[in-house]
Structure 1
Amino acid sequence: MKYPENISKNEDGAAAKEQPLPFSQGGIVVGMNKLRGKERIYCIQDDVHTLCLGATRSGKSRTVVLQSICTLGLAGESLVISDPKAELYHYTHEFLQKLNYDVYALDFRTPEKSHHYNLLQPIIDAALRGDQEQAEMLAWDMTNVLVGKSQGEKIWTNGEMSVIAATILSVVWDNAKRPEYQNLTNVYWFLAEMNRQIGNKTPMQDYMKRLPPTHPARALLSISDIAPSRTKGSFYTSALTTLRLFTSKSIYAITHKSDFSLTELGEKKQALFIILPDEKTTFYPVASLMVSQLYELLTAEADKRGGRLKRRVNFILDEFGNFTPIADFTNKLTVGGGRGMRFNLFLQSFEQLKEKYDAHAASTIKSNCQTWIYLQADDLETLREVSEKLGTYTTSSYQLSASNSKYSTPSTSHSMNLMERKLLTVDEVRRVARPYQIVISRSHPAMMFSPDLSEWAFNAMLGLGDKEHNRQVREERERKRPVRTDTRKEVKLWNIWIYYQKDIARQLEEKRLQEAAGGNVFFGPNSDIE
């Protein structure tokens, strides 16, 4: 295992491309054993998904996540990492760059330093290819993630989804030659302004009448159009509430254009960090959307080359319990591994899964994660399930009895019985603590030794030390990050609604003049007055 200073570099300071990879395969690290001054690392190299259970302050990052990122980097596998607090990015991005990785960060904590990715990019690309069917499917998939599962009658969720999907297609299709308007911020404002009532009409009604039959938004808009006015209003209000996140200038700064292509993750050595504020869950729908899009795009790339990606992609989803539900996630887990995509989910308890997915889906997600890593949990149901997963074993039970009375000969007897016992009871599972962790797979479970990062060679590789040194490292690396966007700049809006609003106002004025003149005013053929 080589340290960064020993990795050969070219004149530009980047790692030489011909540098052989230290590891042939990487994976989630489950333990380490020191022997004669060397470290033997145990990691999961198979195409399987992993579920890691660790309550707050259980040490997930410093006993599992950082070591896994380093191992995968040394194996040259691509990474998609959700990163609350930006800690993982600060610690590992320079290490990955020295290994010749393209490192991108979508940073919702400090948007001015973020790379850019347009969430509508897959739909835009499909539209540019003329693939209307694919564009419609991608728009519906995106909407499914944004809206989430139905909380009541399906009519409300379906109506809201049809409105959002139709608006996305309108913004993308109608701005084929104006890419600066193809973003979710314009989707919000198009929906808001086109449904602003003027008199007894809305611009959206006029817009629909002028759509050609082949326009991809026409059929979806018709779903809401046939609903009663109050119901329709609820659809639009719910849709605007869902999209309100994209009215922020800082979010617009990140999502109005693209610096990179998601499909290249399956071909080149790339690492994508999705940096999220840890004090709120506002931006987790975007993280869920990114994961869903990545899966769909990488699946298409895998299908082009015989069903498997050129380079394996590893999703390290920290705080997965805060993600909004990912559409068809159980199916993604079922078939993803064979295509070269591994999902590694980090939860505080199983209760988080049940809150986001129904009982059947939560159970399927757990069963599709062939390896469980248990660090620590406080939830009784989680402890009980881990204990059940560990299984039982047969042990001996001894009984010894003695008889000693005044008028009889003293006697003793003993017996031995075989009995079944849980490998670890609920209370014993609860008592497991660092540096030990339980690893459960489809074969035999194991208690693994996985100390804090400070006791690994990776600590020096990453340029880290004690707590104060690490704080200074984070501070310095954050300071060195370039500012990429001025988040104060005005948002570029399509403003087509102004044309429709003026047209309706003109029609209303003509109607007023007609009534004032006793009906003797002539109107052009384009007038549409009710």
Structure 2
Amino acid sequence: MFYSKWTSEKDLKKYLTEVEIGFEMQKSGIQMLSEGNKIYIKDDESHSLVIGSAGSGKTQAVVLPLVRTIIKSNESFLINDVKGEIMNKVGGELKKRGYNIIVLDYANLKIGNHYNVLDFPYYLYNNDEKDKAIEILENIAYYIMHDIDSTSDPFWEKTAGDYFVGLALYLFDNAKSEEINLNSIFNLSNDIFKDEKGYDKLIMNSLDKSSSTYQFLSGTLFSPKETSGGIIATFSQKIKGFVTREKLSSMMATSDFDFKNIGNEKTAIFVITGTANYANDLVSILVDELFYSLDLFKNKNNRFNLILDEFDSMKPIKDFYNRINYARGNNIKITALIKDLTNLNIVYGTNYKDLIRMCFNNIIYLLANDLYTLEEISKLCGDTEKGPLISIQELKTLDNFEEVILMTRMYPVRTKVLPDYKINWNFDNSELGFNNLEKNQINLFDIEKFLKK
């Protein structure tokens, strides 16, 4: 019988990198041990899953120390910074170090940058990457149209997604660049069926039957009236959340940063989601497009770190298992933070729960109230001759900033780390002072004027 045991501190240090707090670092990593003015980090390419319920100390024990090591290593990162607290803590230091700072503030739409989800695929479409552009459009359609809680026939969401892609491709071919936005897609759909002017037939007759645009639109525009009505109703219901909010539409009418250069310079991207329902969908779209950008244009500025807080609340990343395994080849390192494993199973489905978990070589447990999570972590830690190495009750009562860590090829680790507020990072604590979000004019494609030409 093979029994488990805790990894000793001496053995743990062999797997970690010792760093002095007051100095620059070669690579970033999650703090797993502290000793005086030194911390020990896991700075390899492995991905990490952090489990911590509300009030578990994730921000102080994991997120802030990780972000600070990233900055000290001059690496790039994107963080789902739900409340904007990470940005407020490190913004001054980023500015001092000359980072390209991008802030997407979906919580109140008052500061930061503009981000049009169609800009990047539109660029690719016009620069010899049409297939990639269509892939991205299909993914955007999935994030907007798909509802993980839906029990209805998936036909409606899937066909509404195809309709979305077809409308986007029609705009890519015929609209002005400033008219490429979600509002134009919604407006075009409304205009096609306005007053029964037959725009649907005019559009389809103008298209090459072998074209992608024709193929994506035909499933809706050639369907019986009752079926097409259901598809368009689904499409309109899903996209309305993005096009009926004035400030959000203005923010998403254009982009003021270049996706192609994200991997070429030190970049920090903060996505402040707050409680907005649509924001988690937009985070997933942003991450999806980032994967494509770093693959196509390569990551030339050291490592790119994705820190996905509330990963179990985001719309599931399409094809995530393959994406995360392929990420290492593009020098992308992922840290996903969740409340519990039950939530993760709901988002990604029970069929994929083990695959998703296998993507992460490091599982860091701080605290959970969920019985399934407690049972799983206890099982993963293994048994001694007398019973579980750590019981459910012990897992429920860990001290503040105490962690149980599971790593590949190692016995389980039980450790205690320093909270960020007790570490003197010697950072510039001044405020970032980001510009207010400017209001953009929303330019719409007019199908009636276009067809008259």
Scaled by the length of structure 2, what TM-score is found?
0.89
Q: Structure 1's 226 and 52: CA in aligned 2 closer, same or farther, altered over 3 A?
A: same
Matches within 5 A, 1:440-519: 440-442=406-408, 443-458=410-425, 460-461=426-427, 463=429, 477=431, 480-486=433-439, 490-497=441-448
Partners of 2:222 and 2:154 lie apart in 1 by 16
Q: Deviations over 1:386-433 (max 9, x none)?
A: 11111122xxxxxxxxxxxxxxxxxxxxxxxxx342110111111113
Matches within 5 A, 1:74-93: 74-93=72-91
Tell me the equivalent position of 2:171: 171
Tell me the equivalent position of 1:354: 345
Q: Over alpha carbons, which structure has the higher Rg?
A: 1
Displacement after TM superposition at 1:435 (Å): 2.4
1:135 and 2:133 matched:
yes
Unaligned runs of 5+ in 1: 4-20, 303-307, 394-418, 464-472, 504-525
Q: Structure 1's 345 and 116: CA in aligned 2 closer, same or farther, altered over 3 A?
A: same
Tell me the equivalent position of 1:324: 315
Matches within 5 A, 1:383-398: 383-393=374-384
Task: Indicate the larger mover: 333-342 or 201-210.
Answer: 201-210
Tell me the equivalent position of 1:363: 354
Tell me the equivalent position of 2:111: 113
1:381 and 2:372 matched:
yes
Tell me the equivalent position of 1:32: 34
Match of 1:126 among 114, 124, 127: 124
Tell me the equivalent position of 1:345: 336
Matched residue of 1:129: which SS? coil
Match of 1:242 among 238, 244, 268: 238
Displacement after TM superposition at 1:280 (Å): 3.8
Partners of 2:389 and 2:250 lie apart in 1 by 53
Match of 2:285 among 284, 289, 294: 289
Give the number of the structure with larger relative contact order, counting CA–CA contacts within 8 Å between residues 6 or more apart.
2
Displacement after TM superposition at 1:462 (Å): 5.0
1:218 and 2:214 matched:
yes
Matched residue of 2:98: which SS? coil
Unaligned runs of 5+ in 2: 1-19
Percent identity of paired positions between Structure 1 and Structure 2: 21
Structure 2 counterpart of 1:272, one-letter code: I
1:421 and 2:387 matched:
yes
Displacement after TM superposition at 1:362 (Å): 2.1
Partners of 1:323 and 1:194 lie apart in 2 by 33
Q: Does the CA contact (< 8 Å) of 2:363 and 2:406 recur in 1?
A: yes
Q: Does the CA contact (< 8 Å) of 1:127 and 1:173 recur in 2?
A: no
Tell me the equivalent position of 2:24: 22
Tell me the equivalent position of 1:157: 157
Q: Does the CA contact (< 8 Å) of 1:267 and 1:311 recur in 2?
A: no
Q: Does the CA contact (< 8 Å) of 2:52 and 2:338 recur in 1?
A: yes
Tell me the equivalent position of 1:273: 270
Q: Deviations over 1:352-371 (max 9, x none)?
A: 11121111222211111110
Q: Does the CA contact (< 8 Å) of 2:47 and 2:335 recur in 1?
A: yes
Displacement after TM superposition at 1:136 (Å): 2.0
Displacement after TM superposition at 1:206 (Å): 2.4
Partners of 1:31 and 1:245 lie apart in 2 by 44
Tell me the equivalent position of 2:257: 260
Match of 2:192 among 191, 194, 197: 194
Structure 2 counterpart of 1:187, one-letter code: I
Q: Deviations over 1:126-160 (max 9, x none)?
A: 22214333322221122122223674434222211
Matched residue of 1:388: which SS? helix
